[in-house]
């Protein structure tokens, strides 16, 4: 970019940041449209905007506007900025996070809620930001919002990113994430939504809190069997992942599976007709069950010997 081009962009940014503080919604809207447009594809323009004095706090405060259009455009501009990896940490200050928290539970504008969730997901990709969202209460708000939402995909994506951090996994489980996610997985016809819910449950199961939450769930093995009998490959993979973790941790869960007459046939079918990843997981579960079955047979023989 030439010096004159940089100078023009800087002038445009300065003018727009002045105009967004106007009392006129129309003037604010036009200025934000310009900022959203110049930051859409240019990493350099994003950096220039982010480095302009007071730009990020100004945009963050506008996400709290009474106008849904101003909310959406300011969120869109902040989301564009978050696409630069080196800007993610500076964007995630506590004030901005609190604005985003209020938007994910808002019922006034679905567009703003979805954009706020997308921005949380983008910012949470920076590992140092994950704990900040945990401290700010975002994890509990996401669980609550997922429970009350008919289209929770954007919320689930944000939660999935946040629970990679152990502390956030603990917060999610304590907020009731396990039963909420199981209800979404079992209660929706949307295969993508069900699959994402199971993928988040699988992430929770990597830590003791999540695994214990699943083990405490009535008939969890039966519930995962029901998922594996469904059509969605993403759901089947999530269910198989969860069962592998359950079987590794609890012989009782594996014994419960042995007692279910159709469990082996469903696994055998997946070993043949699943995706490569599902086949591998189903094969692992089959071997695990075969070993357990052999062990219990040998134990029975020794008792009668």
In a domain, 134, yes or no: no
DSSP states along 232-276: -HHHHHHHHHHHHHHHHH-HHHHHHHHHSTTHHHHHHHHHHHS-H
pLDDT tens over the chain, length 305 residues? 677 788 999 999 999 999 999 999 999 999 999 999 999 999 999 999 999 999 999 999 999 999 999 999 999 999 999 999 999 999 999 999 999 999 998 767 788 999 999 999 999 999 999 999 999 999 999 999 999 887 789 999 999 999 999 999 999 999 999 999 999 998 877 888 999 999 999 999 999 999 999 999 999 999 999 999 988 888 999 999 999 999 999 888 888 998 898 999 999 999 998 889 999 999 999 988 888 776 665 555 555 55
Please, what's the largest Cα pairwise distance for the chain?
92
- Position 1 in a domain: no
Kindly give the residue spans of alpha helices, DSSP state H, lying in 83-126: 88-91, 94-104, 110-124
Return the pLDDT at 301. 54
pTM of the shown model: 0.90
- Summarised one tens digit per residue, pLDDT across range 10-19 is 999 999 999 9
Q: Is the residue at 169 inside a domain?
A: no
Is residue 11 situated within a structural domain? no
What pLDDT, on a 0 to 100 scale, did the predictor assign at position 304? Answer: 52
From 227, 225, 205, select the one nearest 216 (Cα to Cα): 205
**Burial (0-12, 13-18, 19+ Cβ within 10 Å), 294:** exposed
Count of residues making up the chain: 305
Judge whether 293 lies within some domain.
yes
Q: Which two tokens stand for residue 199?
A: 């993928």
Considering the domain boundaries, does residue 270 fall inside one? Answer: yes
Provide φ and ψ at 269, rounded to 5°: -65, -40
For helices 94-104 and 68-82, the axis angle rounded to 10 degrees is: 130
Look at the alpha carbons of 146, 152, 153, 155 in this order and tell me if their dihedral is positive or negative. Answer: negative
Q: What domain range includes position 290?
A: 218-304
CA atoms within 13 A on the CB side of 186: 12
Single out the residue of 125, 133, 134, 129 nearest to residue 100, CA to CA. Answer: 133
- What does the pLDDT read at residue 295? 66
Query: Could you give the CA distance from residue 147 to residue 70 in angstroms, rounded to a whole number?
Result: 28
Number of domains in the chain: 1
251-261, pLDDT tens digit by residue? 888 889 988 98
Give the Cα separation of 19 and 17 in Å (integer). 5
User: What is the pLDDT at residue 291?
Assistant: 83
* Residue 240 forms part of a structural domain: yes
In our burial notation (b when 16+ CB lie closer than 10 A, e otherwise), range 168-203 reads bbbbbbebebbebbbebbeebeeeebbbbbbbbbbb
The predicted pLDDT at position 290 comes to 85
Answer yes or no: is 110 within a domain.
no
Closest CA to 266 of 297, 202, 296, 222: 222
Tokens for 120, please give them: 């949380």
């Amino acid at each position: 970019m030439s010096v004159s081009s940089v100078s023009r962009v800087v002038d445009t940014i300065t003018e727009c940041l002045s105009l967004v503080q106007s009392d006129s919604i129309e003037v604010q809207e036009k200025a934000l449209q310009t900022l959203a447009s110049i930051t859409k594809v240019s990493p350099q323009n994003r950096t220039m905007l982010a480095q302009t004095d007071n730009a990020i706090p100004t945009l963050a405060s506008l996400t709290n506007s009474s106008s849904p259009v101003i909310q959406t455009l300011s969120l869109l501009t902040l989301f564009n900025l978050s696409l630069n990896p080196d800007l993610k940490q500076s964007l995630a200050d506590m004030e901005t996070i609190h604005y985003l928290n209020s938007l994910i539970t808002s019922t006034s504008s679905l567009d703003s809620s979805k954009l706020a969730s997308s921005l949380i997901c983008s910012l949470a990709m920076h590992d140092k930001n994950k704990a900040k969202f945990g401290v700010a209460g975002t994890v509990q708000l996401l669980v609550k919002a997922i429970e009350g939402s008919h289209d929770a995909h954007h919320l689930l994506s944000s939660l999935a990113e946040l629970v990679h951090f152990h502390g956030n996994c603990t917060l999610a489980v304590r907020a009731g994430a396990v039963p909420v996610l199981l209800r979404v997985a079992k209660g929706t016809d949307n295969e993508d939504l069900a699959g994402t819910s199971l993928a988040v449950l699988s992430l929770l199961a990597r830590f003791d809190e999540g695994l214990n939450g699943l083990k405490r769930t009535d008939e969890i093995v039966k519930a995962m069997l029901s998922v594996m009998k469904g059509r969605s490959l993403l759901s089947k993979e999530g269910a198989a992942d969860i069962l592998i973790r359950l079987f590794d941790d609890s012989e009782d869960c594996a014994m419960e599976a042995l007692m279910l007459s159709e469990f082996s046939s469903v696994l055998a079918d997946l070993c043949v007709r699943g995706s490569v990843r599902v086949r591998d997981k189903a094969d692992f579960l089959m071997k695990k069950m075969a070993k357990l079955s052999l062990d219990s047979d040998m134990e029975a023989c020794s008792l009668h010997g």
